[in-house]
Amino acid sequence: MKISAAVFKAECLKLMDQVQKTREPVVITKYGKAVAQLAPVSESPQSLFGYMKNTVKFEGDIVGPLDVEWSALSGDEDRLYGQVPVKRSRKK
């Protein structure tokens, strides 16, 4: 939409509300030439900090000890680690 500076001066607040609602810019002209533009402000993105607030649901006891014994502590996985070659660095 294009309007003259005189019309813009008379209807400034109404035009600002219209731009906010429709999100369409208004070009302001002076002697038929575009001199300014009234455009909607782009919404800044919300901070990433806290964007997942209230999205996690805890079920049961998440702090207490587990009833399951870890295989790393019981030695069930020792056979897996015996096959890993050890890299040694050379001294210069």
Angle at 14 between CA 11 and CA 17, to 5 degrees: 145
β-bridge partners, 33: 30
Kindly report whether the global pTM for this prediction surpasses the value 0.95.
Answer: no
- Any residues with CB less than 8 A from the CB of 25 and at least 6 apart, and which? 1, 19, 37, 38, 39, 40
Q: Which among 12-16, 51-55, 60-64, 88-92 has the top mean pLDDT?
A: 12-16
Query: Which is higher by pLDDT, 18 or 83?
Result: 18
Helix, strand, or coil (residue 71): helix
The pLDDT of residue 92 is: 60
Q: Count Cβ atoms below 10 Å from residue 82 Cβ, excluding itself.
A: 7
How would residue 3 be classed by pLDDT, with cut points 50, 70 and 90? very high
31-83: per-residue pLDDT in tens?
A: 999 999 999 988 777 788 888 888 988 888 888 877 888 777 777 777 777 76
